[in-house]
Amino acid sequence: MECRPFLFRPSKHSGSFPPLANHSTEERFLLLGFSDWPSLQPVLFALVLLCYLLTLGGNTALVLLAARDPRLHTPMYYLLSHLALVDAGFATSVVPQLLATLRGPALWLPRGGCLAQLSTSLALGSTECVLLAAMALDRAAAVCRPLRYAGLAAPRLCRALAGASWLGGLANSAAQTALLAPRPLCEPRRLDHFICELPALLKLACSGGGHATESQMFAARVVILLVPSAVILASYGAVARAICGLRSSGGRRKAVGTCGSHLTAVCLFYGSAIYTYLQPTARYNQGRGKFVSLFYTVVTPALNPLIYTFRNREVKGAARRLLGSLGSGQTRQ
């Protein structure tokens, strides 16, 4: 069957799919969301809304604590505050559109709006990939070189690592979006996803002449995912060797506690991201892919503040001091 590039033409629609105005000639496609799971949509709406509120509240609190409390003016919390900003932005680039699809019918999306959403979420997700690697380097320096840590983790180096993370994310997003933008979309005109996810969009792209472009896009995804992964593995390999060399059990517990939260966040994020982006387009299962994407775009950003604060005495202490100062200020008034 010949694959034809899609340019929207007026047609009649039935069922729950909203019709377009007859005069529209802009290239559009239908975002199906979870319309094939109607009984699950109310539950998903409540879950997604709860996770989003936790994401905004938890990550905003982390940024405020890291900025206000002098005891948290360290490289670890400086990088953690950047991670909190990334998580809040990442969820915001995805969740409002998802909530709209869960509350109403499937959405018709213009191609330009979809590419803008794709570019934003790719930039923030890629930034998180590099930022987690920078945080692993910081943890390795703290455990393996504790006496030289202050010099190794100088403020200037921390700012450079954070800046490199943002630049790396923006560069990957720009490259992927620029390669995808010229590709024509083919019929059928339905995107079986709740966001403009790259693998799902590649399923809609016409195959003619696109093999080289897809290879370049896959290579870019390999770089942004596997290079930081290699840095993280090397860092934690050095941490494991340092922990094995410690004689006291208390020192081992402290070192494990220092790295445990970050390692948990890495496993949650990288596991789902690698599954989504490092498999061939032909093998991408859109039904399963939706639920995997739901995990790393909605659930993980909500869990990260809990992961980093649940066993973290410094953050809990900063929160108590802030609440105490606010309470005493109100009492004086």
Give pLDDT tens digits for 105-132: 767 888 888 889 999 999 999 999 999 9
Q: Which residues pair with 107 in a beta bridge?
A: 31
For the whole model, what pTM was predicted? 0.84
Q: How far apart are CA 1 and CA 275, in angstroms?
A: 30
CA atoms within 13 A on the CB side of 111: 20
CB-CB contact of 305 with 85 (8 Å): no
Average pLDDT over residues 188-212: 77
Share of the chain above pLDDT 70, in %: 85
Structure tokens at 130: 């590099």
Specify the pLDDT at position 233: 93
Query: What SS3 state is found at 108?
Result: strand
| pLDDT computed for residue 328 by the predictor | 61
**pLDDT of 253-266, one tens digit each?**
777 776 888 888 89
- Mean pLDDT for 33-62 is 90
Nearest to 79 by CA among 149, 137, 143, 148: 137
Of the CATH numbers 3.60.70.12, 1.10.10.10, 3.30.1490.100, 1.20.1070.10, which one belongs to the domain with range 38-181+196-203+215-318?
A: 1.20.1070.10
Query: CA separation (Å) from 86 to 15, 162, 275, 284, 326?
Result: 38, 11, 21, 26, 27
CB of 27 within 8 A of CB of 111? yes
Examine the pLDDT at 13 and tell me if it is beyond 90: no
27 or 155, greater pLDDT: 155
The whole-number pLDDT of residue 60 equals: 93
pLDDT tens profile 228-259? 999 999 999 998 888 887 777 766 777 777 68
Task: Please give the pLDDT value at position 26.
Answer: 59
Q: How confident is the model at residue 160 (pLDDT cuts 50, 70, 90)?
A: very high
Range of weakest confidence among 130-139, 166-175, 239-248, 264-273: 239-248
| Residue 22, pLDDT score | 38
Mean pLDDT of 294-316: 84
